[in-house]
Structure 1
């Protein structure tokens, strides 16, 4: 499903790294990291306190988030740089409490050395040419074709495959296909962390890009609705791998909305139909485990019961299927 981009100028401002990640300025971006805020409803959740270090450039301020019980703060979660966007809505980034240490990590080795022809395929060469010419829409279908070849020969989590996966996600974002871009980044970011490390340039690029996609969509509720529409289209087309990817993103969006039962049910379906032993399945299982933790900590009786069923599924053989 392709969405339109009513504010191209806004998108271009997000891409200007020197000015920071819109709507934050460069200095505020450099001292913080991408963060996703969940919707908080009811007496148990979180609340911001304080308003300091107001930036003269972007107007953001640093606020402290606390967990609350019956609306009473009980424990500190962390500090966040916040830009209000009207009413109770806002855009936030997590403040880096200490300067990032320089992590010396050897670049992961790809199996592409055994398949050097992959870098010379017409699709990959054409995709790279279009990308260098700043034509992401033209590059996207060629990257998708090249990705299929790499996943078949190298595996989904090979470093060379992950780089093309990132290009596909970036291409979807650049062509305003925000829902499917979010789904790709949700799947890809944990894999980049696992293979390249959390502070690698590729990992940080993915984390910032999904923040930009969510900003364009307009919040967890809008994101969940968009992904629900996309999943419905996937079901009609019979695109299995794409359906799982989009369903998993829908489940995480539902969790961010506070719709715990819906999130657990959605992610259970994803894990049931995931391919055993596939690298993507590990990401889906982790998402379901996270939803179970939220259900057990904050959910109602039905949420806890669903989490119990999900735990049974997760405790079975790795990446169980529906058969």
Structure 2
């Protein structure tokens, strides 16, 4: 016979003493909501400053096809684009680099497009894991670097936005996880060995954090993270060419000679802008976030 159900109450004689009844909601102590730390708040404000300023300067009313990148700074990019108003956005098409940016476009009620339909893009704004003094970038911390590079190359103007932690002189100094390398799954073991022979003995297959097994990209591939010594990172273009030539490699998270400018929000509320021609522009902190910035020439 099945065991008949019983009702457990606080005074139930069959409830063992070592297992006290759960208190009712009214008896439970109130929970304290998580409060962002000061450091986290500063970083988020730095991201917002960089994203807002880049949008104000580079996403102009005449731009109709716009690429939206990936990463933690990109939500502020979309936020600022939406703030330009429904009238200016009604005729625009937005191209995502991955699932995150696609969802941002849809949830913001912007018009979603695809690079197959629009292979030429007016401007793409994207994040980066690290940017060096020549605007070479490491990208792929979110495993979107194949699509990110397609949209970067398709854009007449490619702009990078980030916080001060991503601003570096040489790639690899701040971002120590290594260069993300997207590989065909059946070739990953051979590519891993070849990367180690190229000078990255600590190259490893990226594993999922809440998943049993490796990370799988939006394209169905694996990602290897390959740290290289600084001497090789000082010449990222040569390193890019060597890694890209390995059979089985789909794309490499080194973006060289591509960015027109990189915008970095700083801890003190100021902004640093590195330009393609080597110029460095500093914008002093203001009491409030930017409300309108003159377009770049």
- TM class, shorter-chain normalised? under 0.3
Structure 1 length-normalised TM: 0.23
Structure 2 length-normalised TM: 0.25
Q: Which structure is larger by alpha-carbon Rg, 1 or 2?
A: 2
By relative contact order (CA 8 Å, sep 6+), the higher-ranking structure is 2
